[in-house]
Amino acid sequence: MDLWAIFIVAAVIFAVGEIATTSFFLGPFAISAVLAAIASAVGAGAVASWAIFVVGGALLLTFVRPVAKRHLYTPPQIRTGTAALQGASGIVLERIVNDEGVGTVRINGEVWTARAFDDDAIESGVKVQVVEIRGATALVSED
């Protein structure tokens, strides 16, 4: 079997392992195996292909994995857009009744159309917490 084919098989195995673990530990080796397969397919020798695999995997693991892990664990303070509103507190301005399709809430100084997350009515003036944002509507529950 050609060396490039061995690297492709290794890349697939590493990729499947990465998908199963989601730790971004095997991913860099899958990428470096693909790079080594390309190098081998275009005529690089076995030593060069193995060097690309080993050095590429080590570099990707050392430099890319920490960045990827930071992105997986982004704290809520850094989230932007509607994702930043999840977990935020608000005050009901207009009584929320899902069956009637009415209700507004003030979240961080902005007025949002609101629906109760658990289908209960929430009276005006009650403090609520944002569970989810769907389009331009905040799904809230009592705090």
- Domain positions in the chain: 3-72, 81-142
Predicted confidence (pLDDT) per residue in 57-110, tens digit: 999 989 988 887 777 776 766 777 888 888 899 999 999 999 898 999 999 999
Of 17 and 74, which is predicted with more confidence? 17
Q: What is the pLDDT of residue 91?
A: 96
Q: What is the pLDDT of residue 23?
A: 78
Share of the chain above pLDDT 70, in %: 97
- Looking at the predicted structure, is the pLDDT value of residue 132 above 80? yes
Q: Quote the pTM value.
A: 0.52
Q: What is the pLDDT of residue 80?
A: 79
Give the CATH architecture of domain 81-142. Answer: Beta Barrel (2.40)
Mean pLDDT estimate for the chain: 90
Of 137 and 67, which is predicted with more confidence? 137
Q: Could you tell me the CA-to-CA distances from 21 to 15, 27, 70, 84 in Å, in that order?
A: 10, 10, 17, 28
Dihedral (CA of 84, 89, 91, 95) sign: positive
Query: DSSP 3-state assignment of 141?
Result: strand
Share of the chain above pLDDT 90, in %: 67
Mean pLDDT of 8-17: 95
DSSP notation for 61-95:
HHHHHHHHHHHHT--GGG--GGGGGTT-EEEEEEE
- Looking at the predicted structure, is the pLDDT value of residue 125 above 90? yes
Interhelix angle 3-21/27-41, rounded to 10 degrees, is 160
Query: DSSP 3-state assignment of 118?
Result: coil
**Residue 56 · residue 33 · CB < 8 Å:** no
Q: Could you tell me the CA-to-CA distances from 55 to 37, 71, 115 in Å, in that order?
A: 14, 24, 54
